[in-house]
Each structure stands twice: as C-alpha cells, then as structure tokens.
Structure 1
Amino acid sequence: MTSYQLHTADTADETAKEPLRVLEGAFGFVPAAAGLMAHSPALINTFFAAFGHFRGGGTFGPDERQVLLLSNAVANRSAWAVAFHTLESLQDGVEPAVVEAIRQGERPADERMAALSEFTRSLIERKGHVEDAEVVAFKAAGFTEEQVFEVITGVAISAMTNYTANLAGPPLEDAVVPHAWKTGYSTGA
C-alpha cells in the first residue's frame, strides 16, 4: 500500500487548511481521512461543504446521521470509517445494540434505524437502483420523500471518506482505537 502524509492545517496546501482547522476544533484532532483528503484541495473542500449542508441543513437527527454513515462505512468495508463512526454513533446517542448490529452487518432491532441502515446499504449495493418496495418500506418507517434523497448525500459524503481511507489505510486515532473493526465482519450481503 502506498504511504501518504496525513496533513494537518500546518502542512496542507493553503486552500485546504481551513477545513482541517475546523475539523480539528470539532474533534480535538484532524480525522485521518480528512488529513488524507487534503492532498486534493478539491476533494477536502467538496467534502467539507457537502458535510456542512448534510449536518447543518439536513433533516436527519444526529443519531440517524450516524446510523447512515456507519452503515455506509460497513457497506464500503472501510475499517477506518467504521471505527470512527462507531465512536461518533455512541457519542450521538445511538443505542450500543444498534451500533453492534450494523458493525456485524445485521439488522438492528430498532425498526426505524433498521429501515435507515437497510435503505442506505441497498443504495450502495445496488448503485442507486433500489426497488420501489424499498422506498415504500423506508417511508413506512417514518422517513420522508426528502430523506430518500438526503440518504444520497450521506452516501456521497461517505464515498469520499471511505474510499480515501480504503485507498490509503490510515492508522486509527487514539480516540477510535477501542472501536477498531476488521473487514472480515459480514456486510450482510
């Protein structure tokens, strides 16, 4: 695997510094995927803008966002992202049993979170070609038409971080080491 520098706000190109500063302020560290994405100012700035809209202008609650992002990480078999979003999920109030079910590629017992996780994974696995029945089931769990499309935003954001982490294989940050994940877990497929 090729080795890439994990950029910080001090080492990144001038046009990539601001997102790294903000992320460091939010987490207390620059997440490894962001430090890697800073190799391309276009990538880090696109991610940063999209995530800002997803988090600030989206309709999902913090726990729902994390279920969506964790489901993406598992579907994309991104060990770094699974560990990171496990930490974030638990901090944002996702029930530990829901987190573990998603990490194992299983259906969470919580019906609403299960519907969100399943719809998210189906969008990835089917490359957007989901069945009408899947959309109906997602909406029957209490999600809206807007949220059908908002899931696509989460999938796109996750593609940026998950693929970056999969390409470069960054080390886990100290805060996420307890949540390490191996790609040998089932992805439910």
Structure 2
Amino acid sequence: MDLIYIPEDLSSCPKFVNKSCPPTNRSFHVRVIMYSVMTGAMIITIFGNLVIIVSISHFKQLHSPTNFLILSMATTDFLLGSVIMPYSMVRSVESCWYFGDGFCKFHTSFDMMLSLTSIFHLCSIAIDRFYAVCYPLYYTTRMTSSTIKRLLAFCWSVPALFSFGLVLSEANVSACSSHQPCA
C-alpha cells in the first residue's frame, strides 16, 4: 500500500500552541461524557493495580516468582493509568496537545515504553506458566529469583531503550514523513 500523504499531526507531536489549536467538533455534552468515561477507566486502572501492588507487597505468602512478575506488571499498568492516561485523555477529547513539544516527546516515549513493558510482562508470565504446567518438576530449578530478576530487567530495559531511542532520535517522525511506501 502506497502512502501518499501523512498529516503532520499523525507523525509527530502537533505543533500547536495553546491558543492556536483547531476548534473541536465535539459538543460540550459529548466532551463531558468522554471525560467521565475516560476518568472512570483511569480510576479503575489506578486503584485496581494499586490493590495488586499492595497485596503482593504486604503479604509474605504471595512472594513467589510468578507474583513478582505480576507485581511488576501491575506497577507498569499503574504508571500507565496515573502518568500517561490523563494527558492522553486531554489530547483525545480536545484534539490538541497543550503541554509542549518536549513533554510530548517524553510522554510518547514513556507511553510506548510502558505499553511494551506490559506486553513483555504478559509474555514472561506466559513463559512462567508454561514451565509450571508443562515441566512442574523442573519449575523450581528454572524459575529462580535470579531468573525472575533477569527477566524483569529485560522486560523494563529493552522497551525503555527502544522507546526513548526511537522517539528522541526522531526516527519515528522521519519514517512517517518520508512519502515512500514501507517495505
């Protein structure tokens, strides 16, 4: 599929300053409903993951390799709900980015990093469960604390390097703005 034209607002942070954003076509009531639904989703995300974090951290019986993966994923999703979702909500409802270009790059990087980190955690939990179900006799020797620590380091570092490297180098913008078809 040939890409002929990609608007600038899809390839990078919009270049609007606070008073030059294009007016939104949404009525006041629609925006209130959108803010309400998105705020509800944020509250559920934040407090749901906070319950998981507090539970696993507080109760010693829950300190297991699998639960440390779940704790780390809950931390990732808690950060998504508390740090990323509020700004994304405003951008989605108002169709404008009010927070500046520098913060936009940080927000985009952090959003991508946390999303990828959450996916990596899901994959790690799937691998952990695979070993627990398919090789129950070897599980305790393979999924040790040091293995989980290495897995968690991988789950956090690879997405961080990729996301911040991609956005800060502006490779994502140059790839979107080149009017050549992707191979």
**TM interval, short-chain normalised:** under 0.3
Identify the structure with bigger relative contact order (alpha carbons < 8 Å, sequence gap 6+): 2
Higher helix share: 2
Larger Rg, first or second structure (1 or 2): 2
TM-score normalised over the length of structure 1:
0.25
TM-score normalized with structure 2 length = 0.25
